[in-house]
Amino acid sequence: MCKSAVFPEARSFMAEQFTKQGHSVDELVYHARWFPLGPIVAAVMGLVIVFGQDLQAVTSGQWYRLAISYMSLPVFLGMFAYYKIRYRTHVIPLDQIKLK
């Protein structure tokens, strides 16, 4: 089933669709102990780490160091866009997902 650390709302959407298809949330095998607090804390900590990795470069105005620190972000976005275009992937609406 859906285990999302970045988007905790994905699990609640999945559970909602699961119940709409006539099932109970108790049927799900995996129940996260700290849901939804755990994924939210993990996402916030991840953002703090990413954006705080070279805070000294921002405060001292060393933009070349900042560019080097975040150089991987445009590369990742480019590779993601290439994959989406190359393989023509798309998001499936929750009401069309077969859960059984």
Radius of gyration of the chain (CA): 19
Cα–Cα distance, 44 to 41 (Å, whole number) = 5
Can you give the pLDDT at residue 23? 82
Greater pLDDT, 43 or 11: 43
Here the contacts of 17-22 (C-beta below 8 Å, separation 24 or greater) are 17/94, 17/95, 17/97, 17/99, 18/99, 20/95, 21/99, 21/100
pLDDT per residue as tens digits for the range 75-87? 999 999 999 999 9
